[in-house]
Amino acid sequence: MVKISDFMTVGEASAYLCVSKDSLRRWDRAGKLTARRHPANGYRLYLKAELDKFLSQFGLGDAPSRGTGSAGKKQRTRKKSR
């Protein structure tokens, strides 16, 4: 049985895949990724297992070790501009 904790929001999934939220929405419309809809608010939700499968299909690294923290978010650091 799939639990709500098995899903990621658009923001969490974009951080996990290191892509923009717009890319996720575009891939959803194109059928590259499948988003489910939250029953109460209609927001897109992505199943973490499907994101891992997507990563492995495209050879984008060791999917299970990606990210940190409870939401599976990967932290990025930015260089300071001068």
**CATH code at position 52:** 1.10.1660.10
pLDDT of residue 78: 56
**53 within some domain:** yes
Give the range of the structural domain holding residue 18, as residue numbers without chain letter.
Answer: 4-60
Whether residue 42 has pLDDT greater than 60: yes
d(CA 45, CA 33): 11
65 within domain boundaries: no
Domain membership flag for residue 28: yes
User: Whole-model pTM above 0.75?
Assistant: no
Q: Reply yes or no on whether the pLDDT at 6 is more than 70.
A: yes
- Does residue 71 lie in a domain region? no
Tokens describing residue 61? 């690294």
Q: Percent of the chain at pLDDT above 90?
A: 52
Which tokens sit at 59?
């050879």
Q: 52: burial class by Cβ within 10 Å (0-12, 13-18, 19+)? A: middle
Which residue is it, tokens 């650091």? 77
Confidence band for 60, pLDDT divided at 50, 70 and 90: low
